[in-house]
Amino acid sequence: FTIEERLNANAWDVDIHRPHIKIKDPDMCRKCEKKPCTYMCPAKCYVQQGDIIVLSTEACVECGTCRVVCPHGNIEWNYPRSGMGIWYRFT
């Protein structure tokens, strides 16, 4: 199975009113040279558009990678509220 096939087997209960991850300071992303979130996130939640980073948490697999790889500590990361977020289904 590819990563995409495995991710497609999961289900999400998205907490649309309270994203569990936030970019603390969007201006910091503009200055960030390598922008590792855009290529390290397995769910491709971070997309560069021009000089800004757009974060969409709907497909987040709650791995915590973005929090670790951000060289500026610019990610506010919490688990989703109880019962929300990813529901893992193993294939």
**Contact set with ligand SF4 (CB under 6 A):** 21, 41-43, 45, 60-66
For the CB of residue 12, give the shortest distance to ligand SF4 in the complex, in Å: 11
Cβ distance 85 to 12 under 8 Å? yes
- Provide the 3-class DSSP secondary structure of residue 27: helix
Closest to ligand SF4 by CB, 30 vs 79, is: 79
Closest to ligand SF4 by CB, 64 vs 71, is: 64
Closest to ligand SF4 by CB, 10 vs 65, is: 65
For the CB of residue 30, give the shortest distance to ligand SF4 in the complex, in Å: 19
For the CB of residue 75, give the shortest distance to ligand SF4 in the complex, in Å: 7
- DSSP letters, 5-50, are HHHHT-EEE--TTS-SEEES-HHHHHH-SS-THHHH-TT--EEEET
